[in-house]
Structure 1
Amino acid sequence: MYTYRPLNELDLELICGFPQTPEELFYMSPRSGFPLTPQQVMDLLENRLEPTVIVEASTDRPVAYANFYDVKDGSAWLGNVIVAPDHRGKGASKELLQTMMRLAKTKYGVNSLHLSCHNTNTRGLVFYHKQGFKPYEVNITTLNGDAAMITIQMKRDLTEL
């Protein structure tokens, strides 16, 4: 059973262990360096809203994390999405996404939630599609002179929630 709460400073070390590889960290936060550090998470929060953790109800242990950015004109972007390795495929990601969609709609009046997902993140693309997100734009992304990657912009209408 899962519940949610705002991120607190004691969660940072645990969340930094969620991305297991540089590729996973890239999916979560393309500009962060592996391994993720608490300071990197705090730096990201300078322009983010509603840093939220999904926790095991029995232990209050964080198992998933996300936040919002660019909240304006009835839309918002979902960012820094990550799930603990031992909770992947167990419903934590669905709980996180549903929680963030509810928060976006009820707290910020958001009607359209957007996200970016990289073409190599097949598991993420399948998950977001199953949750009603639709692709609407494709961009070519390069960071630090690395090879080009396709970034797929997706969105979901929240008016039916």
Structure 2
Amino acid sequence: MTLIAHRDLDLSKNDTESICTFPQSAEELFYIGPRFIFPLTSDQIVNILENRFSPTVIVDINDNPIGYANLYDVNQEFLTCWLGNVIVSSTYRGKGISKYLVNVMMKKAVDEYKVKRMKLYCHNTNTRALLFYTKQGFKPCGSRIIENYENQKIVSIEMERELI
């Protein structure tokens, strides 16, 4: 694995400009966030941050962003939160960065928000991610029908995992 670390998203370092280069297609961007419009822009990332927590970048040895995720809908009553906007640079896919990123986000959820369960949505058309999240211990627990970037109906699978 490449030498990596994580830190908070830093708007002054132009992290968002790097993140905008990660999605390679409208389909990939839809998987990251169904409300995003391809091509991804810094403004889209900044706007979604209004309802997000712990925006985190994974960085390489030169402090360049190579992965990104955030949390949302932290619920103290049910001790849950949602994992969102997970993306890794195409150059670093298949090298363990996603696993590291998800583990960082789970630790932040527990340490910063004291939640016991993490949830996420993964679209049924994203087989690679479904296999990845299953391997990370997430289990399907529900679904909803949404429209993709081509206005086609697809199933978004709700998954969850216990954190402690």
* TM-score (norm: length of structure 2): 0.94
Match of 1:23 in 2: 27
Q: Is residue 142 of structure 1 aligned with residue 147 of structure 2?
A: yes
- 1:145/1:12 Cα in 2 relative to 1: closer, same or farther (>3 Å)? closer
2:101 to 65, 90, 96: 96
The residue identity in structure 2 corresponding to 1:71 is V
Cα deviation per residue 1:88-107 (whole Å; 9 max; x = unaligned)? 00011011000000000111
Q: Tell me the distance in 2 between the aligned counterparts of 1:27 and 1:110.
A: 25
- Unmatched segments (≥5 aa) in structure 1: none
- Match for residue 33 of structure 1? 37
Which of structure 1's runs of 4+ aligned residues deviate more than 6 A?
none
Q: Cα RMSD (Å) of the superposition?
A: 1.1
Residue segments in structure 2 that go unaligned for 5+ positions in a row:
none
Counterpart of 2:39, as a letter, is P
Aligned positions of 1:81-92 closer than 5 A: 81-92=86-97
Preserved CA contact (<8 Å) 2:142 2:159: yes
**Distance 1:145-1:23 versus aligned 2 partners, 3 A rule:** closer
Shift of 1:142: 1.9
Residue of structure 1 in register with 2:63 after alignment: 60
DSSP-derived class of the 2:158 partner: strand
The equivalent position to 1:69 in structure 2, one of 61, 69, 72, is 72
Alignment partner, residue 138 of structure 2: 133
Tell me, in whole angstroms, the C-alpha distance in 2 between the residues paired with 1:3 and 1:121.
Answer: 27
Distance in 1 between the 2:114 and 2:128 partners? 29
| Other-structure match for 1:49 | 53
Note if contact 2:26-2:149 (Cα within 8 Å) is conserved in structure 1.
no
- Distance apart, 1:138 and its partner CA: 1.5
TM-score (norm 1): 0.95
